[in-house]
Amino acid sequence: MAEQLATNITWHDGDVTPDMRKENMGQQGASLWLTGLSASGKSTVAMALEKLLLSRGKHAYCLDGDNIRHGLNKNLGFSAEDRAENIRRIGEVTKLFADSGMITINSFISPYRVDRDQARAAHDESKIPFFEVFVHCPLEEAEKRDPKGLYKKARAGEIKGFTGIDDPYEAPESPEIVLNTHEQSVEESALALMKMLEDHGIV
């Protein structure tokens, strides 16, 4: 957990309550945390769900690993320490988005269980719904897809510490839902997530 460095700071509560936001947005904000190997289909499914939600008049937004690394987290690399800080910042950002009433869909490999658990704990503490979504497909299938050619580079030793090759991926122990993208189509996965949101009264 990151240390609190600033002193003389006070949390300022506003006059708008979570219920007022919910009513105004016509939905309950929430975070969906898609985790899985590179090329397992996180971004593809996230974007399909975002489109589906918008087509139903809901407010949704995707936070994507590579995009965040271009901006907010451009000063972080792929060491275990930097990966942890990457996920910590994203956990805080997604919590703020969800608190604003947005359905936030995160696609990050987020390979370490402890980091994902921290994001969940931060949401629990603020009573914001958090759904861990395990986007699963066998490594061989992910390697076959390899849309960005990253596995090929990792196998050739051109990328060090690549998740699934020479860095571990710790699968979720009790995710809210598992998507098997080698068996389910993109549309089926997006619909499964939509149903989960409906079942939990988010939409």
Query: Which region, judged by CB under 6 A, interacts with ligand ADP, from 11-19, 38-46, 81-89, 92-100?
Result: 38-46
In angstroms, what is the minimal distance from the CB of 43 to ligand ADP? 3
Q: Is 193 in the site for ligand ADP (CB under 6 A)?
A: no
First to last CA, the chain: 32
Q: Is 31 in the site for ligand ADP (CB under 6 A)?
A: no
Q: Is 39 in the site for ligand ADP (CB under 6 A)?
A: yes
In angstroms, what is the minimal distance from the CB of 121 to ligand ADP? 24
Instruction: Report the distance separating Cα 158 and Cα 115, nearest Å.
Output: 26
Tell me how many residues contact ligand ADP (CB under 6 A): 17
> Which residue in the list 31, 107, 110, 189 is annotated as catalytic?
107
Q: Is 111 in the site for ligand ADP (CB under 6 A)?
A: no
Determine which residue in the list 181, 190, 194, 197 makes contact with ligand ADP, applying CB under 6 A: 181
Q: Is 107 in the site for ligand ADP (CB under 6 A)?
A: yes
Q: What are phi and psi of 38, to 5 degrees?
A: -60, 135
Q: Is 35 in the site for ligand ADP (CB under 6 A)?
A: no
3-state secondary structure 131-167: EEEEEECCHHHHHHHCCCCHHHHHHCCCCCCCECCCE
In angstroms, what is the minimal distance from the CB of 112 to ligand ADP? 16
Q: Is 69 in the site for ligand ADP (CB under 6 A)?
A: no
* Residue 107 bears catalytic tag: yes
In angstroms, what is the minimal distance from the CB of 80 to ligand ADP? 20
195 close to 184: Cβ distance less than 8 angstroms: no
Nearest in space to 164 (alpha carbons), one of 172, 173, 154: 154
Cα–Cα distances in angstroms (integers) from residue 190 to residues 117, 139, 185, in the given order: 24, 21, 9
| Beta partners for residue 61, in sequence order | 104
Nearest in space to 108 (alpha carbons), one of 128, 85, 124: 85
- Which residues contact ligand ADP (rule: CB under 6 A)? 36, 38-45, 107, 145, 147, 181, 184-186, 189
Catalytic positions are 107
